[in-house]
Amino acid sequence: MSEEGFEVDGPHDHELHHAAEHGRTDSFVGRIAFTTAILATVGALFSYEGGATQANASLYKNNAAIKKTEAANQWSYYQAKSNKENLAEVALLLVPPDKQDQFKDAIKRYSDEKTVIKKEAEKIEAESAAWDERSDHELHVHHRWAQATTFLQISIALSAIALLTRKKWLQWGVYGIALLGVLWGIAAFGLV
């Protein structure tokens, strides 16, 4: 026994020392490692985009609900004016002729006000529908980003299996599923 101690290398250490001494590198491992790093980066970007579109879809749906409530308020206001107009019409039939002018004026005023209120309510309803449409579109884009991310996650998992088994056909599977994920991401980007 020497003064420096006794050292036993494990199989992994032995393989590393052997590869270093003979100048060998494992290109299969390098390719899989590089591919996995790229896929993880692209997957993170796709995941971010998916989260952003999901948040936008929720925000737009909320805006649609707010506009829907505003429209309902306008329609209630319209109904109140209709009720006042109807009461003025009934009063017109009940009052003596010398007092009918004020009710005729009220009927005309309520009718004119209802026209303005109706246009405003219809405009707000159209805004609500537009927000709903934007929300639906964002949700559709979100699904594309989520699918693209899922394909990339599957290809990353397949990378680990390919690395463990050293099967070349699995490496090609990684590339194929990753390509599918990237194409899905391009499709999602095209919808933005």
- Residue that has been written with the tokens 């290109």 in this structure: 27
Q: Minimum mean pLDDT among 56-60, 80-84, 121-125, 164-168: which range? A: 164-168
The answer on pLDDT for 73 being more than 50 is: yes
The residue among 79 and 191 whose pLDDT is bigger is: 79
Cα 167 from Cα 102, distance rounded (Å): 93
| Mean predicted confidence (pLDDT) in 51-57 | 96
**Cβ atoms 54, 140 nearer than 8 A:** no
Q: Which residues of 16-52 are buried (b: 16+ CB within 10 A; e: fewer)?
A: eeeeeeeeeeeeeeebbeebbeebeebbeebbebbee
Band (pLDDT 50/70/90 cuts) for residue 10 is: low
Give whole-number Cα distances, 49 to 26, 54, 100, 134, 190, in Å: 35, 9, 66, 16, 13
**Cα separation of the two ends of the chain:** 71
Band (pLDDT 50/70/90 cuts) for residue 26 is: confident
